[in-house]
Amino acid sequence: MICPSCGKEAPEHAESCPHCGEELHAPGPPPRLLGQIQGLLPAEPVITSGRLIDPTHVVPLQALPTADQVAAPDPQNQPATTTPATNGIGAGAPLQTPPAATSPTTPHALPQQDAPGHWMIASLFFLVIAFGVLWHTGGTGGAPVRPAVKNAYAFIEILPSDARVLISWDYDPATQGELQLLAQPLLLHLQQKKVRMTFVSLRPFGVNVAYDTLVGAFYQQEHTVMAAPPPARLGFIPGEGIALRSLALSPIQTSSAPRISALSMAMEPDMDVAAFDLIIQFSADMASSRDWVEQVSTQWQTPLIVAASGAVAPMLRPYEQTGQIRVLLAGYPDALAYEQLLGQRGPATRQATSQTLALLLFLGIVSFAALRSLL
């Protein structure tokens, strides 16, 4: 052993150090590792559901059975059992459970609490619902109309009956459901003004979507014959920006049938795009609208109105702010507002009516559930 006091060696079984005289102790067992003492650690307590009973709880004397209760027969025809007393009360006393505060057959009813605040909250809730329904159904003046929608309506309204309008259908059937809502009221307004319309498209399917929109606008007039002249059709023009440059220089020469286009448009081959009083583009692509701005709007003074989808409109806002796009319309809200200005119940109005009915049904279910829970 090594003496802890002087550090010198001492005999193995010596009780004191022969050098300094300090008492020596035999080394104890080495400390156990954590892996060796895991089995010796107490297990974690098990938490059970329900109320835990305190083992030190003493039943008060008032809860113990009296002599009359001991002599009375058991209500369930079960004999009372006796056991030796271990708490000093007395031997041979019957061991019975203290009577419960409430009987299982006659439960104790909780006192009814009058809560007038619940009815105040319910009244406020129904007032908010009624205000929302009136606002959504047009009780406060209908759908909001942006200044851009009013400007577009004014541009078409001031056109003379012999005006020429060039319309470009630059969207595919994939986005037809959104843009057709906006195209039909504009086309209906142009038909009412009896202007000369010319259709052109930078997309292969533009001719088809233009035909569908024209048919839809025709049936909005309750199958009446339109007095406006039929639109001239330049058709699909491939080439994007280069095609727009050629179209701006000579729409007649750009057409695949120059003679027919000249007769239907009442234009000469040397006329450029400045012969049109208004240009309207229905766009679902940022690139096509940018080509119209760069190749046509910045070179000629013909006003350009772009009716774009909701995804493309935010990217075209700078062109509207600089005046290169005179009016920018976007998606379903502007279509609904334009139908409101036009006084026609088109597809956007019908869609709004369907949404209103669905909202009323949903609010009715919520109101019924809230009222039922209060009652």
Across the chain, what does the average pLDDT equal?
Answer: 76
pLDDT per residue over 75-133, tens digit each? 555 544 444 444 444 444 454 555 554 444 444 444 555 456 667 777 777 777 777 66
Q: Take residue 358 and report the two structure tokens written for it.
A: 């669905």
The region, left, alpha or beta by phi > 0 then psi within -120 to 50, assigned to residue 162 is alpha
pLDDT per residue over 320-332, tens digit each? 999 999 999 998 8
Higher pLDDT, 281 or 255: 281
CB 255 within 8 A of CB 261: yes
Beta pairing class for 196-201 and 232-236:
parallel
Let me know if residue 237 belongs to a domain.
yes
The Cα diameter of the chain in Å comes to 134
Position 132 scores a pLDDT of 67
Q: Take residue 193 and report the two structure tokens written for it.
A: 């003004």
Let me know if residue 49 belongs to a domain.
no
pLDDT per residue over 167-211, tens digit each? 999 988 888 888 888 888 898 899 888 899 999 988 888 888 888
Let me know if residue 255 belongs to a domain.
yes
Backbone angles phi, psi at 332, to 5 degrees: -65, -45
pLDDT band at 40 (very low <50, low <70, confident <90, very high): low
Residues 174 and 152: their CA atoms lie apart, in Å, by: 25
Position 300 scores a pLDDT of 87
Does residue 360 register a pLDDT over 50?
yes
Position 57 scores a pLDDT of 55
CB atoms within 10 A of CB 116: 7
Segments forming the whole domain that contains residue 205: 147-355
Q: Take residue 133 and report the two structure tokens written for it.
A: 């329904």
Amino acid identity, position 152: A
Residues 253 and 268: their CA atoms lie apart, in Å, by: 10
pLDDT per residue over 263-300, tens digit each? 888 888 888 899 999 999 999 989 999 999 988 988 88
* Nearest residue to 220 (alpha-carbon basis) of 193, 242, 249, 189: 189
Let me know if residue 48 belongs to a domain.
no
Q: Take residue 295 and report the two structure tokens written for it.
A: 């190749």
Q: Give Cβ neighbours of residue 342 (< 8 Å, ≥ 6 apart).
A: 153, 185, 188, 189
Let me know if residue 108 belongs to a domain.
no
CATH code for the domain of 336: 3.40.50
Taken in order 202, 208, 209, 213, the sign of the CA dihedral is: positive
Percent of the chain at pLDDT > 70 equals: 68
SS (H, E, C) the chain: CECCCCCCECCCCCCECCCCCCECCCCCCCCCCHHHHHHHCCCCCCCCCCCCCCCCCCCCHHHCCCHHHHHCCCCCCCCCCECCCCCCCCCCCECCCCCCCCCCCCCCCCCCCCCHHHHHHHHHHHHHHHHHHHHHCCCCCCCCCCHHHHHHHHHHHCCCCCCEEEEEEECCHHHHHHHHHHHHHHHHHHHHHCCEEEEEECCCCHHHHHHHHHHHHHHCCCCCCCCCCCCEEEEECCCCHHHHHHHHHCHHHHCCCHHHHHHHHCCCCCCCHHHCCEEEEEECCHHHHHHHHHHHHCCCCCCEEEEECCCCHHHHHHHHHCCCCCEEEEHHHHHHHHHHHHCCCCHHHHHHHHHHHHHHHHHHHHHHHHHHHHC
Which residue is associated with the tokens 């708490």? 87
Let me know if residue 247 belongs to a domain.
yes
Let me know if residue 265 belongs to a domain.
yes
Position 84 scores a pLDDT of 47
Mean pLDDT of 2-14: 81
Mean pLDDT of 218-246: 73
Let me know if residue 109 belongs to a domain.
no
Higher pLDDT, 24 or 186: 186
Position 178 scores a pLDDT of 86
**Bridge partners, 369 (sequence order):** none
pLDDT per residue over 140-177, tens digit each? 345 678 999 999 999 999 999 889 999 999 988 888 88
Surface-to-core class of residue 356, CB atoms within 10 Å of its CB (0-12 exposed, 13-18 middle, 19+ buried):
middle
Position 140 scores a pLDDT of 39
CB 278 within 8 A of CB 156: yes
Number of domains in the chain: 1
